[in-house]
Homo-oligomer: A and B are copies of this chain.
Amino acid sequence: MSAHVFIAEDEASIVSLLKYNLEKEGYKVSHSENGEDALKQIKSKQPDLILMDWMLPELSGVEICKNLKKDNKFNDIPIIMLTAKGEEEDKIKAFDTGADDYVTKPFSQKELNARIKSLLRRSKPQSSSDIVEFTDLKIDRITKRVYRKDKEITLGPTEFKLLDFFIKNPKRVYSREQLLNNVWGEDIYVESRTVDVHIRRLRQAINIQNTKPLIRTVRSAGYSLES
């Protein structure tokens, strides 16, 4: 699943250059040449990232930026401002309107790609790496192995999924309901006590004698993974 990059830029030559390069990187790309239309398209398409010219016909990049950052639904979309001016003050202004990064023309495609990658990584935590660590726990999603303090631990499939889910949001308390929906699946019906049983098995597997247990029980609320 590739990210969707939206370009708001009126110079055709730049658009085609960007488009070519971004598509080569594997992004889905769409664009608009005018500010008003750009805003409309962004709101309907909800891209993952926006490259926006500072100056745009109809509605300036600054205006669009402000508009998007006001709206809860769109203020998470990272925005990179493109501009011909290299002046200090403009950079500050760009950041102040809510832009997340700033690139001056002419820009290097390589650097732009790097900045895009960085912003996307930040806004898409779910597509995180295949090896995740939390304190002394390490889980490898590829080989399906789990380690505690570099010692391997064997888990049943359900326990693995359970731990994998917990590790995505450590310290957060999940209700049995939430765990069932996220680990077992929305449409599967099992008793909520079943969760307890798997929590117990997971605890037994990952615990180390005389150490603070990793899974916390929050009475009448659920469970969480602690450090």
**Residues of A at under 8 Å CB distance from B?**
70-73, 75-76, 78, 88, 91-92, 94-96, 98-101, 108, 110-111, 114-115, 117-118, 121-123, 125, 128-129, 131-135, 142-144, 156-157, 167-168, 170-173, 218-221, 224, 227
Contact = CB atoms under 8 A, between A and B. Distances in A.
A139 to B, nearest CB: 10
22 contacts: A70-B129, A70-B133, A71-B133, A71-B134, A71-B135, A72-B134, A72-B167, A73-B135, A88-B110, A91-B114, A95-B115, A95-B118, A98-B121, A100-B118, A122-B122, A122-B123, A142-B173, A143-B171, A143-B172, A144-B221, A156-B219, A157-B221
Given A72-B134, A91-B111, A143-B224, 4 more contacts: A70-B129, A88-B108, A143-B171, A157-B219
Nearest to A43: B135
User: Interface centre among A73, A101, A143, A157, by most B CB within 10 Å?
Assistant: A143
A144 B218 contact: yes
Given A95-B117, A108-B88, A134-B71, A122 B144 contact: no
B157 A72 contact: no
Contacts of A78: 122
Contact of A99 (B118, B156, B221): B118
Contact of A72 (B100, B101, B156, B170): B170
A111 B135 contact: no
A108 B122 CA distance: 25
9 nearest CB pairs, A to B: A95-B114, A72-B134, A157-B220, A71-B133, A143-B171, A144-B173, A95-B118, A144-B218, A92-B114
Given A142-B172, A171-B143, A173-B144, A227 B73 contact: yes
A62 to B, nearest CB: 15
A98 B125 CA distance: 13
Contacts of A134: 71-73
